[in-house]
C-alpha cells in the first residue's frame, strides 16, 4: 500500500444520501446538489504550522480547528453546512498523526452534517486548506454590509480566551492552571456558532465572524455598511471567560479590554440588529444555546468610538491581529 493509499484510508467515508452531495471523494470532481432556491456559501482558509498552530498541537485538535474556522465563516453568513474539501501538505506520513487529525476533523464534521467531498494530498511543510460549502436561501445570507444607524451591536459567546492562552504559551502572561486549560481549549477547539448564524437569518442586519479581534473585525462591518459605532469596551471585556476566575486579580481593566477587543481567534459572531428585534435576538441565542450580549450601537457617523461603562472615551489602542504581519 502506497503512502497515498495510507492517507486516503483515513479520509474515505461513505457519502450520506440526501445531504446535498451527489458525488464525494474519488473522482476528478465532487458534485454538489444544493436544494432548489438555495445559494451556495463558500469559504476557504489555510492554516500553516508555526503561524496558526504549533508542531506540538494535538492532531485531533488541529483537525477540529481546521474545519471550525471555516464553519465559523458559514455561521457568519447564516448558512447551513453541507460539505468541505481538504487539501493537505504533509512533511511525512505518520499513521497515528493522521488518525488523530481525521478523528478531530470528522467529529466536528459529523456534528454539523458536513461531508468531506474531495481533497488533495501532497508532501510539503504542514499546511491545511479547507474549503467549506453551505446552503442559504437565495437572498437570505447574512452579509457584512447591512448595519444601519440605530441598530444594536451584539456579540456571541466569550471573547479573548484564545488570546489569553496564546500569551501564556508565549510566556508573556501567567495564569492559574484551570484558567489556562479552559482558555487553551477555546484556542485549540473553537466552537463555530453555526446554529446561531442560521437562527439570526431575517433578524440580524449584518454579521461577521470574530477571527482577527473584535475591534478590527467590526471595522470591516462599519466600512461595508458605511456607518460608525459606539462600542462599550467594558461590556465586551466582561465577556472574557476568565473574568472573575480566582487568581486573575492582577489583570486590570485595560488587560481585559485588550483581550476582548484585540484578542483574535475567537470565532464568535459580531452582528447588528434593529433595537426592535432585541427579544428576537435573545430568542435566537436561546434556541442556539449560545449567549448573546449587547455591546454597543450603530451610528451614522463613521468610525469606531470605544467608550467605558460611564460612556467616557477609551484611549487605549486595539490593534487587529494580522496573520500576515504579526510577529509571532
Q: Is 124 in the site for its own copies (CB under 8 A)?
A: yes
CB of 220 to its own copies, least distance (A): 9
Instruction: Specify the DSSP class assigned to residue 219.
Output: H
Choose the stretch contacting its own copies; rule: CB under 8 A; options: 101-109, 236-244, 259-267, 318-326. 318-326
Specify the stretch interacting with its own copies by CB under 8 A; choose among 102-110, 129-137, 179-187, 241-249: 129-137
- Residue 168 touching its own copies (CB under 8 A): no
C-alpha cell, 97: 498523526
Query: Using N-to-C axis directions, what is the helix angle for 95-111 and 3-11, rounded to 10°?
Result: 30
- The span from the CA of 190 to the CA of 181, in Å, is 13
| φ, ψ at 165 (rounded to 5°) | -65, -40
Work out whether 4 is an interface residue with its own copies (CB under 8 A). yes
User: Which one of residues 1, 14, 18, 28 is an interface residue with its own copies (CB under 8 A)?
Assistant: 28
Run of H or E residues at 4: helix 3-11
In the block, which residue shows the cell 471567560? 241
**Nearest distance from residue 26's CB to its own copies, in Å?**
8
Contacts 24+ apart (CB under 8 A), 245-251: 245/176, 245/178, 245/179, 246/176, 247/175, 247/176, 247/179, 248/175, 248/176, 248/179
Q: At closest approach, how far in Å is the CB of 273 from its own copies? A: 17
Written as nine digits, the cell of 202 is 431575517
Site for its own copies in 38-97 (CB under 8 A): 39-52, 73-74, 76-77, 79, 83, 85-90, 93
Which window, 58-66, 174-182, 258-266, 319-327, contacts its own copies (CB under 8 A)?
A: 319-327
- Under the binding rule (CB under 8 A), the answer on residue 29 touching its own copies is yes
Of the candidates 10, 11, 15, 32, which one interacts with its own copies according to CB under 8 A? 32
Residue 131 near its own copies by CB under 8 A: yes
| DSSP β-bridge partners for residue 230 | 297, 305
Told to check if 222 binds its own copies by CB under 8 A, we report: no
125 binds its own copies (CB under 8 A): yes
Amino acid at each position: 500500500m502506497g503512502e497515498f493509499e495510507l492517507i486516503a484510508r483515513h479520509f474515505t467515508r461513505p457519502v450520506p444520501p440526501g445531504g446535498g452531495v451527489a458525488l464525494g471523494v474519488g473522482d476528478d470532481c465532487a458534485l454538489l446538489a444544493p436544494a432548489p432556491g438555495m445559494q451556495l456559501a463558500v469559504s476557504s482558509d489555510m492554516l500553516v504550522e508555526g503561524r496558526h498552530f504549533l508542531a506540538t498541537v494535538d492532531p485531533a485538535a488541529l483537525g477540529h480547528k481546521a474545519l471550525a474556522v471555516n464553519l465559523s465563516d458559514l455561521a457568519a453568513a447564516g448558512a447551513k453546512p453541507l460539505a468541505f474539501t481538504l487539501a493537505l501538505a504533509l512533511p511525512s506520513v505518520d499513521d497515528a498523526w493522521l488518525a488523530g487529525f481525521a478523528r478531530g476533523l470528522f467529529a466536528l464534521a459529523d456534528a454539523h452534517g458536513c461531508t468531506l467531498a474531495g481533497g488533495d494530498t501532497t508532501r510539503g511543510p504542514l499546511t491545511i486548506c479547507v474549503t467549506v460549502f453551505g446552503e442559504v436561501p437565495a437572498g437570505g445570507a447574512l452579509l457584512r454590509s447591512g448595519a444601519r444607524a440605530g441598530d444594536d451591536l451584539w456579540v456571541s459567546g466569550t471573547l479573548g480566551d484564545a488570546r489569553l492562552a496564546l500569551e501564556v504559551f508565549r510566556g508573556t502572561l501567567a495564569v492559574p492552571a484551570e484558567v489556562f486549560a479552559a482558555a487553551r481549549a477555546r484556542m485549540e477547539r473553537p466552537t463555530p456558532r453555526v446554529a446561531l448564524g442560521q437562527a439570526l437569518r431575517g433578524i440580524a442586519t449584518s454579521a461577521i465572524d470574530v477571527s482577527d479581534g473584535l475591534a478590527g473585525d467590526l471595522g470591516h462591518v462599519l466600512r461595508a455598511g458605511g456607518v460608525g459605532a459606539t462600542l462599550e469596551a467594558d461590556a465586551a471585556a466582561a465577556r472574557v471567560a476568565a473574568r472573575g476566575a480566582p487568581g486573575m486579580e492582577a489583570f486590570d481593566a485595560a488587560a481585559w479590554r485588550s483581550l476582548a477587543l484585540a484578542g483574535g481567534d475567537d470565532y464568535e459572531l459580531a452582528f447588528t440588529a434593529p433595537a426592535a428585534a432585541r427579544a428576537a435576538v435573545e430568542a435566537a441565542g436561546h434556541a442556539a444555546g449560545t449567549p448573546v450580549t449587547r455591546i454597543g450601537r450603530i451610528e451614522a457617523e463613521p468610525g469606531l468610538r470605544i467608550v467605558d461603562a460611564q460612556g467616557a472615551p477609551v484611549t487605549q489602542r486595539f490593534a487587529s491581529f494580522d496573520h500576515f504581519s504579526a510577529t509571532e
